[in-house]
Amino acid sequence: MRVLGIDPGHDGAAALLDAAGGLSALWSWRRVQRNGLTAYTLVCVALVDGEWRTSTWTVPTLGRVGAKLGEWMPAEATVIAHELPYVGVSVSAALSVAFSSGEVIGPIRALASFREVEGVKPTEWRSALGVAGGKRSDAKAQVEVIAWTVTGLSDALAVLAQAGGYTADEPHAAEAAGVARWRWLWLGKERPRPKRTSKRSTTTGCIARRSRPSVGSPKSGGRRSGKPLAPGDGSTSS
């Protein structure tokens, strides 16, 4: 089974791993302005007959980016793994990534055979691969770690850089490969799910609840209201 990893966004990437976990294709797209209109340049680096070959397109929408990826996908079953948006700095930015993710993944699912689609938090796949930090200020070091775990990634990134407008440590492409590698490691395995926790009493182990004082207890003052008891209402006199 193959795994397609996606780092979504208006500037994003996708990486396809074969059944052995090696990189077989890498895509990277960027938003550009052409004649006053928004468009996307899409570059594909694919391993064909043992050689890395490139193809370049200019498409008007992210949906067309997804359609190009879907047309290229092999007929065999493939799993999609995509990075979830991080709602930490800007909610609007996270929503933008979520919408762009749907624009890319929708056409791929319509044109290719996929067994499942799964999102993963950035911290989860980074931790699994031993990628430290979350900022792209240390992108070169992070790319080196990911490239060490994904066979063929370093060569594909070098070819991508020669295609123009990219560097050998292109973060989006490397992160897409990292997401794919994370999902590939769990093929055929059941991943542990985080357990839900609740506040419990340290003495009984039960969920702690604040009890209400019963009628007649010292905390209730021995009566339901603040009115004094009248003679004959159960009061005693000395």
Return the pLDDT at 90. Answer: 67
Average pLDDT for the chain: 78
> Is 98 a domain residue?
yes
Q: Would you say the pTM of this structure is higher than 0.85?
A: no
pLDDT higher than threshold 50 for residue 11: yes
| Residue 82 counted as domain residue | yes
- Of 64-68, 85-89, 154-158, which gets the smallest average pLDDT? 85-89
> How far is the C-alpha of 92 from the C-alpha of 51, rounded, in Å?
41
Asked if the structure places residue 79 within a domain, the reply is yes
On the CB side of 185, CA atoms within 13 Å amount to 14
CB burial of residue 100 (10 Å; 0-12, 13-18, 19+) = buried
Q: Output helix, strand, coil percentages for the chain, rounded to the nearest 5.
A: 35, 25, 40
pLDDT of residue 55: 94
Of 28 and 92, which is predicted with more confidence? Answer: 28
Q: Is residue 9 within 8 Å of 97, Cβ to Cβ? A: yes
pLDDT for res 26: 96
Higher pLDDT, 82 or 228: 82
Per-residue pLDDT band for 89 (boundaries 50, 70, 90) equals low
pLDDT of residue 192: 58
Q: Hey, which bits of the chain come out as E strands? A: 2-7, 12-17, 23-34, 37-48, 51-59, 78-83, 114-120
Domain range for 73? 2-185
d(CA 102, CA 73): 18
The answer to whether residues 83 and 119 touch, using CB atoms and an 8 Å cutoff, is yes
Q: What is the pLDDT of residues 43-74, one digit of tens each?
A: 999 999 999 999 999 999 998 999 999 888 87
| Mean pLDDT, rounded, for 117-135 | 84
Is 168 contained in some domain?
yes
pLDDT at site 175: 93
Pick the more confident residue, 204 or 155.
155
Least confident stretch, 42-46, 123-127, 128-132, 221-225: 221-225
CATH number of the domain encompassing residue 122:
3.30.420
Mark 116-139 as b/e (b = at least 16 C-beta within 10 Å).
eeebbebebbbebbebeeeeeeeb
In a domain, 199, yes or no: no
Any bridge partners for residue 5, and if so which? 15, 81
- The reply to whether 88 falls in a domain is yes
pLDDT given at position 88: 64
* DSSP-derived 3-state class of residue 162: helix
Q: Is residue 99 part of a domain?
A: yes
Total domain count for the chain? 1
pLDDT band (50, 70, 90) for residue 114: confident
Which pLDDT tens digit goes with each residue over 214-227? 444 444 444 444 44
Residue 211 belongs to a domain: no
